[in-house]
C-alpha cells in the first residue's frame, strides 16, 4: 500500500461518507482507493459518523486517514479543512470534490430557494474548496483537482437546476485548469451516468427502475461508486500528468444513446 500509485501524496476527499452505513458512493470509493494506493486521506463530511465509517474501512486495510467534520458550502470550513491537511501531513496533492445534491423540475416548477441551494452545494462548495486547496498544492509543487459533474451537463432532461449546476462544474473545472496550470495544478472533471449508489437508492428504488437504468447503458450493466472512484484514482495519479481540463464520462455509453426510449 505504501508503494502505490499515490505514494507520499496527501488527498482531501469531500463527501467522503455515505448515506448508508455500509454503502459505497463516489466519495467513499475514491477515499478507499486513494488510501490503498498509498495516499494519506482527509475525509471531509458533515456527517461525522459516516466519515468515521470510511476511516474505519481504510484503517482496517492498513491505510492512513483522518476525519474532518465541516460544511464545504461555508468558506471558513473549507479554509479549516485545508489547514487540517497541512497540519497533519504538511502538503496537499489531491482535492476530490464529491459533494452534491439532486433536484427535479423545470424553471417553471422549481422555487428560488431550491435553485440557490443546488448551486450552492454543487458549485460554490467546489469553488471554495479549490480556493484554499490551490495555494497549498502550489506550495507542494502542484497537484490534481477532481470535480464530480454529471452527464446531465451534456444531456438535459427535466432536471434544470441540477443540469445547470453540473454544467457550471464543467466550466469551473476548465477555468481551474487554465488559471493554475503554471503552478503545476491539473483540474479534471468526471461526469457519471446513472449509478447505483446510496445517494439514489437510500430513499427507495424499485427493481423495475433499477433495471431500466441499467439498460440505459450500451453495456447493459450497472455503474457504481467504484467506477467513478477508479476514474478519480487515475486522474489523481501521475499517470494522468498530461491530462487537464477534460470531462470524462463514466456512464457505460449512456451519452451515445438518444433520449429515453
Active site residues: 162
Q: Torsion angle of alpha carbons 210, 29, 251, 169, nearest 10°?
A: 120
CA distance 100 to 90: 28
135's CB contacts (< 8 A; 6+ apart) are: none
Q: Coil, strand, or helix at residue 42?
A: strand
Quick check: 128 and 72 in contact, CB under 8 A?
yes
Helix axes 26-36, 225-236, angle to 10 degrees: 50
Q: Coil, strand, or helix at residue 148?
A: strand
DSSP state of 46: S
Quick check: 150 and 159 in contact, CB under 8 A?
no
CA distance 151 to 128: 23
Amino acid at each position: 500500500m505504501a508503494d502505490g500509485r499515490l505514494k507520499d501524496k496527501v488527498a482531501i476527499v469531500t463527501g467522503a461518507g455515505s448515506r448508508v452505513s455500509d454503502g459505497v458512493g463516489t466519495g467513499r470509493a475514491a477515499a478507499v482507493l486513494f488510501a490503498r494506493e498509498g495516499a494519506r486521506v482527509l475525509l471531509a463530511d458533515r456527517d461525522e459518523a459516516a466519515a468515521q465509517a470510511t476511516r474505519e474501512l481504510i484503517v482496517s486495510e492498513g491505510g492512513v486517514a483522518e476525519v474532518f467534520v465541516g460544511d464545504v458550502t461555508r468558506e471558513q470550513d473549507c479554509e479549516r479543512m485545508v489547514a487540517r491537511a497541512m497540519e497533519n501531513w504538511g502538503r496537499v496533492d489531491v482535492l476530490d470534490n464529491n459533494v452534491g445534491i439532486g433536484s427535479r423540475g423545470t424553471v417553471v416548477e422549481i422555487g428560488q430557494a431550491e435553485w440557490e441551494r443546488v448551486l450552492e452545494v454543487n458549485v460554490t462548495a467546489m469553488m471554495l474548496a479549490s480556493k484554499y486547496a490551490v495555494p497549498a498544492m502550489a506550495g507542494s509543487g502542484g497537484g490534481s483537482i477532481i470535480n464530480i459533474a454529471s452527464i446531465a451537463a451534456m444531456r438535459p432532461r427535466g432536471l434544470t437546476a441540477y443540469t445547470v449546476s453540473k454544467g457550471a462544474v464543467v466550466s469551473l473545472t476548465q477555468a481551474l485548469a487554465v488559471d493554475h496550470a503554471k503552478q503545476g495544478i491539473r483540474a479534471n472533471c468526471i461526469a457519471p451516468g446513472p449509478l447505483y449508489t446510496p445517494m439514489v437508492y437510500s430513499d427507495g428504488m424499485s427493481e423495475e427502475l433499477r433495471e431500466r437504468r441499467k439498460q440505459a447503458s450500451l453495456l447493459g450493466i450497472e455503474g457504481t461508486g467504484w467506477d467513478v472512484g477508479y476514474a478519480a484514482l487515475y486522474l489523481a495519479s501521475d499517470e494522468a500528468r498530461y491530462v487537464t481540463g477534460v470531462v470524462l464520462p463514466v456512464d457505460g455509453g449512456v451519452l451515445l444513446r438518444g433520449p429515453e426510449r
